[in-house]
Amino acid sequence: MRYADGGGLTAAGRQRRETVRMQAAELFDEGVKPPEVAQRLRVSRKSAYQWYRIWWEGGVQALASRGPSGSRCRLSSRCLEKLAGYLEQGPAAHGWVEDQVWTAARVATLIGRKFHVSYSVSGATRLMHRLGFSPQVPARRVAERDEQAVTLWKESQ
């Protein structure tokens, strides 16, 4: 499963986990063994043993949070603000006059045109969600669609 913020934790969540690891480091300094640390901090023994090994090899600093995982956004905060403005203007303002729907593919194309940065469709989707937008799939109907046949089929179900 993918998360918007790297490993699925917000900054507050990362801070909470780091606090628990720092409490574990204090207990290790006092000579408390990993199984007891696990019980006191209500974490798994596996985590306590991993933290103990990391603490033993690198000290307290090795247990500090390294921030969100995953690759960094290729757009600066200023560019993200501009992109949000472009999305607010709507697709017609940027050449898509067929319908007023932002698809992920259109957003990826827009990012390429405006910022000269290549984004995949799935990357554009994640970026849109991060900015508070959701991609919409345009409703396309086959030109040869027989509405009477569809209505009869729905009634028979």
What confidence tens digit (pLDDT) does each residue in 10-62 have?
778 889 999 999 999 999 999 999 999 999 999 999 999 999 999 999 999 99
User: Residue 131: how many CA atoms within 13 Å on its side-chain side?
Assistant: 26
* Confidence grade of residue 106 (pLDDT, cut at 50, 70, 90): very high
52/58 Cα distance (integer angstroms): 10
- Overall CATH class of domain 11-63: mainly alpha
Average pLDDT, the chain: 87
The whole model's pTM is what?
A: 0.53
Residue 43: other Cβ atoms inside 10 A: 19
Q: Return the domain boundaries, the chain.
A: 11-63, 73-157
